[in-house]
Amino acid sequence: MAEQDFPGWHGTTILAVRRGGEVVMAGDGQVSLGQTVIKGSARKVRRLAPGGFEVVAGFAGSTADAFSLLERLESRLEASPGQLQRACVDLAKEWRTDKYLQKLEAMLIVTNGDELYVITGAGDVLDPEDDVAAIGSGGNFALAAARGLLETDWPAEDIARRAMMIAAEICVYTNGNLTVERISR
């Protein structure tokens, strides 16, 4: 499916930066309906703890669809505790093959502080090579900024915050009201 088939793609920016034994995930707070800002303080980055196994997840796209996916991810993590990659692959397989789930319009970034994955409805479970992942309408702006900032000696949180501010200055569907979660290995 083409990106234009997913109206929910245009509405958020999620960025994860892995550095120094931790991953920092940041998400903006803007919720847009067409050209109207409905809410400026939504929480699109959440901490999950199924069975005591802590994971941070961020989502872009339809909120209801993302919540459905997060619930399924939690159940996969409960079924295979401590195995984030397996849970992500199982979710991506089901998402791609289930007729109901195929219609969901969202993307996820998940991390346990060590592993970092982008999960898509096309069945992708992507582990970024350069310790940075981004999704959403401002994702490419935040990704480019974060990659450039990796050349500094800044900690992960400073890189994530500055890259998100750069994305918010460029993308009209992204604001500077951030939710930031940090998770260590």
Known catalytic residues?
Answer: 12
Residue 99, helix vs strand vs coil: coil
* Contact assessment for residue 165 and residue 141, using Cβ atoms and an 8 Å cutoff: no
Q: Which residues contact 168 (CB under 8 A, 6 or more apart)?
A: 13, 28, 138, 174, 175, 176
Distance of alpha carbon 86 from alpha carbon 150, whole angstroms = 29
Phi-psi domain of 34 (left: phi exceeds 0; alpha: psi -120 through 50; beta: other):
left
CA dist 16 → 43, 57, 80, 99 (Å): 15, 10, 24, 30
96: helix, strand or coil: helix
